A and B are shown apart, each in its own frame.
Chain A
Amino acid sequence: METHQSLRSKADWIRRQTLALHKAAPETRLASSLSCVEILVALHYHLLRIDPADPLSDKRDRLIVSKGHGTISLYPILADRGFIPAWELERPFLSGSLLKVIPDTFIPGYETTNGSLGHGLGVGVGVALGLRAKGSDRLSVVLCGDGEFNEGSMWEAIMFAGHHHLDNLTLIVDLNKLSMLDYCDNIIKLSPLSDKLSVFGWKVWEVRDGHDFDQLMPPLAEALAGGHGQPTAIIVSTVKGKGVPRLERDSLCHIRSLAADEVDRLLGGDNHDAD
């Protein structure tokens, strides 16, 4: 599909930009930022109604990034779409820079405070209630990681949203299977997550390969189209560290940083995109 081809090109460009950002600040969470690239591309370039010129407009869909530290990959998207000046990508993580190691609400395009897990969904539920009370047809979309499901606050919000049939709320799970120290299923088994969400009153889709736009786009579009009478969740299976073979194989990739020369090798001699 032509559209998907252009989304794929975008995702490739964003991965390279994300690597370049990581080179500037090894403290950034690279692996976690690479697993959700396609999700962010799908939302920002195709599915959500957010005007870069008016990022807090009442007419926007609200994208609440609960796994904030794992979305350095959103920075190039925000620059590309015009939320922030493109030159911000060239001076990230310096004193006074807009772009920080963990995103904050001073960066246009971020709705809530990030950096602490298990907070986004509760706020997203409140946003969905608020939109409903205002008679708005806009959406509350929350992106979270799978490690976040260890937090009790997630389940408080999940139960509440199901009970109140919040059909303007969508949860997108970046299921990269890894928390900081180990595989999620070795810490507290999360599967079958789909069944768990379903019994709490959510309509759930699963995507086997979240890096394949052909698989990713249809359920995202269907969930966000609304009219389901219940909150929706898309559980997107992804690879943590996607695009960096050394990270893809490493259960501790969350806390791995790449050396500058390793980033250069990955970007290849032809690294004009990362300049």
Chain B
Amino acid sequence: MTPTDRIIQRDLMIEALAGRMAEDSSLFFLSADFGAPALDNLRNRFPDRFLNLGVAEQNTIGVAAGLALEGFKVIVYGIATFISMRPFEQIRTSLSLLAANRAINVNIISVGAGMSYDVSGPTHHCVEDLPLMRVLPNLEIFSPSDGGLIRMFVAGMLEEPYPKYIRLEGKAVEPVHNHLSEPDFRRGFREVRKGGEVCLVATGFMTHRALEVAETLAAQGANPGVVDLFLLKGLDRTALAKVLAGYETVVSLEEGYLGVGGIDALVCQVINPLANPPRLLSYGLPHGYNFERASREELHLAAGIDAPTVARQLAHSLLACQASAPVP
């Protein structure tokens, strides 16, 4: 992997969208006064279909709903914490509820998932949005771990006539998926590393953490798998259950609160109906805010979700599990 393989998800998404806007005059781009270098190019190219709604997230969602009712495909672009939580009731009332019997193609691009904005502190740490968005019917959540998934989304799912919440990582990340087909994409998850006894399940940035953990464990002789989740509502649960059923231990790893409806709950709901469900271990944030001025590594270390800590604990746990296994 070379540094040039690392991409900023926001920039890649905007470039892909600009390409679509050139072909499709029904695409509108609304920003809640949030920018990016790539966005400067887009707004110069499409001055009639780019609008800065200002620091007004509630109106941004309302206007997006109105444009969607008129048949436009709408992109809403903002900082993750603000575009997800400030207008939450607008998202519920004018997107989720309205989509029950109207075509509402509104795509909320939420930039700065999890602790992307590490040093900015807890107002900018977006660690609540996944449970909030999972709660809403008629709305898909797209949480990509890499640029390939973003390209696939823009080429396909962007056309779907329902609201979507798109959760983008703020830091540069490396590729995770190779040769993903459209049917693979629609399954909403992928076993990016096949393993034996233990499988880590994560989404977005944390999939990269899970891969680090897996490499550490593999270096110690274990054979861990990794599943990347990217369509958090529409994913093929039956197929995911089938994959996870092949493991003794499943580990959910998230940059969000434990026990309040995040990835841990999703994985639990998927494996629970199995006849012999794997053991589930969950790693996530304690239910509080971290006010320290800290890097993401430091924040993860404080929460116990950094790769070395997770790898060390899993190694112990797996050994304990083997030690207590009944002798045949």
Contacts and interface: CB of A to CB of B under 8 A. Distances in A.
A111 B69 contact: yes
A126 B65 contact: yes
Contacts of B59: 122, 125, 153, 156-157, 160
Contact of B98 (A62, A105, A121, A140): A105
A133 B63 CA distance: 13
Interface in B125-143: none
Nearest to B59: A156
What DSSP secondary structure best describes chain A's contact surface? Answer: helix
B182 interface: no
Interface in A83-111: 105-106, 111
A127 B90 contact: no
Interface stretch (A112-120, A177-185, A253-261): A112-120
Contact of B58 (A106, A112, A130, A156): A156
Contacts, number: 97
A111 to B, nearest CB: 7
Interface in B295-316: none
Nearest to B56: A156
Given A116-B89, A122-B66, A125-B66, A130 B94 contact: no
Contacts of A192: none
A113 B97 contact: yes
B67 interface: yes
A123 B58 contact: no
B287 interface: no
A155 to B, nearest CB: 9
Size category of the A interface is 20 to 34
B67 A126 contact: yes
A62 B66 CA distance: 11
Interface of B: 28, 48-49, 51, 53-54, 56, 58-59, 61-72, 89-90, 93-94, 97-98, 100-102
Interface of A: 62, 105-106, 111-113, 115-116, 118-119, 121-131, 133-134, 140, 152-153, 156-157, 159-160
24 contacts: A105-B98, A105-B100, A112-B94, A113-B94, A113-B97, A116-B89, A119-B94, A122-B59, A122-B62, A122-B65, A122-B94, A123-B65, A126-B65, A126-B66, A126-B69, A128-B66, A130-B67, A130-B69, A130-B72, A133-B67, A134-B71, A156-B59, A157-B63, A159-B54
